[in-house]
Amino acid sequence: MPERIIIVGAGPAGTRAARILAEAGLATVLLDEAAGNGGQIYRRQPPGFRRPYAALYGTEAGKAERLHAALDGFGGLIDHRTDTLVWSLDGRRLMLNTAGRADSLDFDRLILATGAMDRVIPLPGWTLPGVFALGGAQVALKHQACAVGAKTCFVGSSPLLPYVAYQYARAGAGVAGVVDTTPRSAKLGALPDLLAVPGVTARGLTYMAWLARHGIRYWHGATPLRVEGGEHVTALVFRTAGGAERRIDCDAVALGYGLKCEHQLADLAGCAFRFDSPTRQWVVAQDDAGRTSVDGLYVAGDGALIRGADAAELAGERAALALLADLGRPVDAARVAQIGRHLARIDRQRRGMDKAFAYPNHLAQSLADDVILCRCEAVTVGEVRRAVTEQGADDINRAKAFCRVGMGRCQGRVCGPAAADVVAAALGRPIEAAGRLRGQAPVKPVPVAVLAQAELGETQSA
């Protein structure tokens, strides 16, 4: 019997992996909860929208078009199931929710290409309507042709910060300013690494120059203090690098401090993890081809390591080639080496990005006790601190048990990084020592009816 191969995620990584395996004549099932392939960066607009590729994807329009077409003509080998959420993984079985219908699929080999989401650091007022994740503000624009406000303030530290501000201004949206927590000196210091991929860096500088030319203020080395507003956002208050307090009138805040891997399914599969210091987050332990500690399970793309769309495509191809090699199929060694060299260059450039847009963990550690940390359960920073100092929690999972931080509907996707920093600071230990929030099924909420159908299915097949 041929091996059953499943790929989760039809972004750049998963799409490329499916295509490479199909070219080698292997059948795969490609699962994604979205309605079409493309993933985050090449996310498609809904039917009936008419903006051309160039308007939607800018300099990356050609890549988007190629990726969208990458599955065409391979329908016989690639079983692409859209609107299909993989909500659990149990041994070698995936539990699915296809538009409200429960299903399950068994696999022999699995490539997880589940992408990333925004990483945020809370601040006072961040639960007010009008505060959105930075990537979310971009989704509003790309997927819905909307700006998240009439005058949006961009806050955080991320290469997406100047980029999305630029996209907004270009699309005719009001931009109130860009408040970047990384000092200008750090950006200059990162230049040698950034120049490992000069094209990408030049593009980034172009966006900043464009903002400056159009009179949009960009503050480097700022400290966000609070979002103000009654029923919704009316201002952002921050401290400048020089120490002055400033208020920017705005009706929306787009907040982002880089990205974090979506790797809950790898966690359920029992994959080993390691702490990645440059990006300050836990990642699935993997070799340079994406093989994990679990036999037959591979990771690729931003769900494996945050390094952007071009690397995601290459990593998807690399994982597919590893899978082919592991099946004893012939693999082009020259291509493998070429991908390795290309990824090494991107990795060097990412090191530069991590310095130019550093993650300001001290911001989470110094939050006041009354700030809401966990949006789902409205758990405050003080409650998490007390779980450590008064109840004796010695890692993030114990703190979760004591005060419900990370226990809500999002499973700590949003509050996890900041919560870990608060716990680490309260323990007086490095962040790695605060541990890693464990994933749980369902990795995203599923209707009770789907859970019930799934249980019924289990009993029948038992």
- What is the binding site for ligand FAD (CB under 6 A)? 8-14, 31-34, 39-41, 85-86, 113-118, 135, 138-139, 160, 259, 262, 265, 301-303, 308-309, 312, 443
Alpha carbon separation from 36 to 39, 125, 330, 365, 441 (Å, rounded): 8, 35, 31, 40, 25
Residue 414 contact among other proteins, ligand FAD, none, beta carbon within 5 to 8 Å by kind: other proteins
Residue 303 contact among other proteins, ligand FAD, none, beta carbon within 5 to 8 Å by kind: ligand FAD
- Measured distance CA(190)–CA(178) in Å, rounded: 20
Residue 204 contact among other proteins, ligand FAD, none, beta carbon within 5 to 8 Å by kind: none
Q: Give yes or no for residue 410 binding other proteins (CB under 8 A).
A: yes
Dihedrals phi, psi of 184, to nearest 5 degrees = -60, -35
Residue placing its CB nearer to other proteins in the complex, 315 or 379: 379
Q: Give yes or no for residue 408 binding other proteins (CB under 8 A).
A: yes
- Measured distance CA(4)–CA(352) in Å, rounded: 40
Residue placing its CB nearer to ligand FAD in the complex, 64 or 235: 64
By the 10 Å C-beta count (0-12 exposed, 13-18 middle, 19+ buried), 94 is classed as: buried
- Measured distance CA(15)–CA(316) in Å, rounded: 8
Residue placing its CB nearer to ligand FAD in the complex, 140 or 387: 140
Least gap, CB of 375 to other proteins (angstroms): 6
Q: What is the CA radius of gyration of the chain?
A: 22
Q: Give yes or no for residue 441 binding other proteins (CB under 8 A).
A: no
As a residue count, the chain comes to 462
Residue placing its CB nearer to other proteins in the complex, 172 or 242: 172
Least gap, CB of 129 to other proteins (angstroms): 3
Least gap, CB of 42 to ligand FAD (angstroms): 7
Applying the rule CB under 8 A, the residues between 255 and 294 that interact with other proteins are 262
Least gap, CB of 411 to other proteins (angstroms): 9
219 in helix, strand or coil? Answer: strand
Least gap, CB of 137 to other proteins (angstroms): 8
Q: Give yes or no for residue 147 binding other proteins (CB under 8 A).
A: yes
CB 223 within 8 A of CB 383: no
User: Which residue in 9, 6, 3, 2 sits closest to 262, CA to CA?
Assistant: 9
Residue placing its CB nearer to other proteins in the complex, 130 or 435: 130
- Measured distance CA(142)–CA(182) in Å, rounded: 27
Tokens 């993650």 map to which residue?
A: 359
Residue placing its CB nearer to ligand FAD in the complex, 116 or 197: 116
Residue 11 contact among ligand FAD, other proteins, none, beta carbon within 5 to 8 Å by kind: ligand FAD
Alpha carbon separation from 204 to 3, 174, 233, 256, 329 (Å, rounded): 43, 20, 29, 17, 41
CB 441 within 8 A of CB 95: yes
Residue 202 contact among other proteins, ligand FAD, none, beta carbon within 5 to 8 Å by kind: none
Helix (H) or strand (E) holding 140: helix 134-144
One character per residue 350-379, x = contact with other proteins (rule: CB under 8 A):
----------------------x--xxxx-
Q: In the beta sheet, which residues pair with residue 297?
A: 110
Q: How far is CA 298 from the centre of its chain?
A: 18
Contact residues: other proteins, CB under 8 A: 33, 40, 45-51, 117-118, 127-133, 135-137, 139-141, 143-150, 171-174, 231-232, 251-252, 262, 372, 375-378, 408-410, 413-414, 444-445
